[in-house]
């Protein structure tokens, strides 16, 4: 059976989201320990008639890493 890379990407994203949700449920535990990366303030490009706002922020926590690991294990078992 051929494994699809899109399924792997979706499982990893689901693992990140579920891990982040679990980390937010327990805010004062070691699961919520992590680091934030990205732009602290959005980048605004004003072209007169069009204004574009760019922003990206990632928060990597222990719970998210555990979610990614579980997603990879589930992908290998499929």
Q: What DSSP letter does each residue of 24-65 carry, written as one string? A: HHSTTSGGG-EEEEE-SS-EEEE-SS-EEEE--EEEEEHHHH
Q: Which domain holds residue 3?
A: 1-33+58-78
Q: pLDDT tens for residues 18-33?
A: 988 888 888 888 888 8
| 71 within a domain of the structure (yes/no) | yes
- Tally of domains in the chain: 1
pLDDT for 14 beyond 90: yes
Residues whose CB is less than 8 angstroms from the CB of residue 5 and which lie 6 or more positions away in sequence, other chains included: none
| 50 within a domain of the structure (yes/no) | no
Q: pLDDT tens for residues 47-69?
A: 989 999 999 988 888 999 999 99
pTM reported for the whole predicted model = 0.75
């Amino acid at each position: 059976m051929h494994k699809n890379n899109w399924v792997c990407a979706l499982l990893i994203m689901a693992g990140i989201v579920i891990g982040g949700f679990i980390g937010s449920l327990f805010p004062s535990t070691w699961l919520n320990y992590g680091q934030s990366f990205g732009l602290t303030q959005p980048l605004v490009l004003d072209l007169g008639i069009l204004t574009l706002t760019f922003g990206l922020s990632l928060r990597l926590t222990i719970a998210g890493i555990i979610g990614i690991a579980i997603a990879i294990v589930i992908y290998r078992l499929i």
